[in-house]
Amino acid sequence: MKTNNTGNDIRMWTPATAAMVLVMLAGLGVMVYRLISGLGASTHLNDNFPWGIWLAVDVLGGVAMAAGGFIIASMVYLFNMKKYKPITRPAILTAFIGYLLAIVAIIMDIGQPHRIWHPAVMWQIRSVMWVVAIHVMLYTTTLALEFSPMLFERLGWHGAVKTVQKIMVPVVLFGALLSVLHQSSLGAVFLIVPGKLSPFWYNSKLPFLFLVSAVMMGLSMVSLETILSARIFRHPVDMGIFTGLARALAGVALFYFVLKMYFLVTGPGVAAVFSGSMEANMYLIEMALSVILPLALLLGTKMKESLSGLLFIDVLVIAGVLINRLNVGIFGLYRHNATNGQTYFPSWMEFAVTFALIALAFFIFKMAARHLPLLSSETASEH
């Protein structure tokens, strides 16, 4: 075995990290406040807007961001695309962080945090939410398993690493299965509100659209973080990985675009997009960011050759899909929910928690990069 390739050389305190810690501390304070004084005191949620940004951004968005984990793991372990092996660990770590933080967000968001375990024993198989809950539990466990070699390696438990690696293929397969179901289930959550969710987003294949857009998001996330860590942590990375990811992204985005167009034409119609309504504008922004611009840039030659170009595209897709989740979770429901005058704009505390969770994600990633063998011994040996 080679030496652990941890990033001990990464500087602990940078201004960005300090800022992150501040944001995290503020968020932590708010979370404590939330837990002792309740949702009404800390959020602007109300009877007409039972769900806010914690759900739309932290949960829906966070989970979509985590899709990279199962995509890369599947590519490597199931489709045997060895090329991507170097980025498996960061991808899995991202997913793991994503899910852990989504769980934190859920604990903050549900009215009875201490009953988070109820779905495990109180079954209601007709409920998509129950399906989601079960998936989250199983998949987080799965991710923990997928992630464990990093820890074991760091601890020097090589036997354990071996054992886990032996069962990695079925574990990854199980994880992929859960992810497919889970990503789509989050879309399925909204199947029950045909009258409420704007037709720009509501359609019977909402689960599938969620899945496909999550794949886009996952690919972009992996690409983004790899580029970033390559730059920040000075990890050497094969350019082929990026172009491969970009190609995959282009394919999925094209597919997604076709799907979205199909549902636009068969749904509200193309003309509706230019009606100038809030929904139409949000739809336009979402589409522009998540598919139209990225596709245009990807199909053009220049951009995908430069890391900065790819980075930009990744940011676009991530923002676009996030806006999609916001659109489904908040904006698409807004008109219906606000008919009687009640409105929703998140409280500063909601923002604080959301930002804190994002900061926490970055922070954990950085700590992991610093202290764990993010680039596994295997990968290190091969490159």
Partner 1 sequence: MAKTANSVLVDMTRCIGCRGCQIACKAWNERSARKTVMYGNFTNPTDLNSDCFTNVRFVENGNGKTPVWSFVKNQCLHCQDPSCASVCPVAAFRKSDEGPVTYDYERCIGCRYCMLACPFEVPKYEWEKLLPAVQKCTFCAERIQDGLLPSCIKTCPTKTMFFGKREDVVAEAKRRIASAPGKYVNHVYGIEEAGGTSWLYISSVPFGELGFNMDVPKVQLPGLTWSYISSIPAVIGVVLVAGVGSWVVTRRNEVKEKEGGKEDRP
What is the contact surface with partner 1 in residues (CB under 8 A)? 36-41, 45-48, 50-51, 74, 77-80, 82-83, 109-112, 115-116, 118-119, 122-133, 169, 173, 176-177, 180-181, 184-185, 188-189, 191-196, 204, 207, 240, 244, 333, 340-342
For residues 275 and 268, what is the distance between their CA atoms, to the nearest angstrom? 11
**From the CB of 14, what's the least distance to partner 1, in Å?**
35
**From the CB of 177, what's the least distance to partner 1, in Å?**
5
Looking at the Cβ atoms of 8 and 112, the one nearer to partner 1 is 112
| Chain centre to alpha carbon of residue 340 | 33
Looking at the Cβ atoms of 14 and 305, the one nearer to partner 1 is 305
Looking at the Cβ atoms of 301 and 340, the one nearer to partner 1 is 340
**From the CB of 258, what's the least distance to partner 1, in Å?**
21
Looking at the Cβ atoms of 77 and 363, the one nearer to partner 1 is 77
Which three-class secondary structure string do you get for 258-306?
HHHHHHHHHCCCCHHHHCCCHHHHHHHHHHHHHHHHHHHHHHCCCHHHC
For residues 211 and 223, what is the distance between their CA atoms, to the nearest angstrom? 18
**From the CB of 41, what's the least distance to partner 1, in Å?**
8
Looking at the Cβ atoms of 39 and 63, the one nearer to partner 1 is 39
DSSP codes joined into one string, 324-340: HHHIIIIIHHHHHHTTT
Looking at the Cβ atoms of 311 and 330, the one nearer to partner 1 is 330
Q: In degrees rounded to 5, what are phi and psi of residue 290?
A: -80, -35
8 A C-beta contact, residue 198 and residue 213: no
**From the CB of 44, what's the least distance to partner 1, in Å?**
10
Looking at the Cβ atoms of 12 and 122, the one nearer to partner 1 is 122
Q: In degrees rounded to 5, what are phi and psi of residue 49?
A: -125, 75
**From the CB of 345, what's the least distance to partner 1, in Å?**
16
**From the CB of 35, what's the least distance to partner 1, in Å?**
9
For residues 189 and 193, what is the distance between their CA atoms, to the nearest angstrom? 9
Residues 6+ apart with CB under 8 A from 22: none
Q: In degrees rounded to 5, what are phi and psi of residue 46?
A: -150, 180
Alpha helices per DSSP H over 38-80: 39-42, 53, 62-65, 67-73
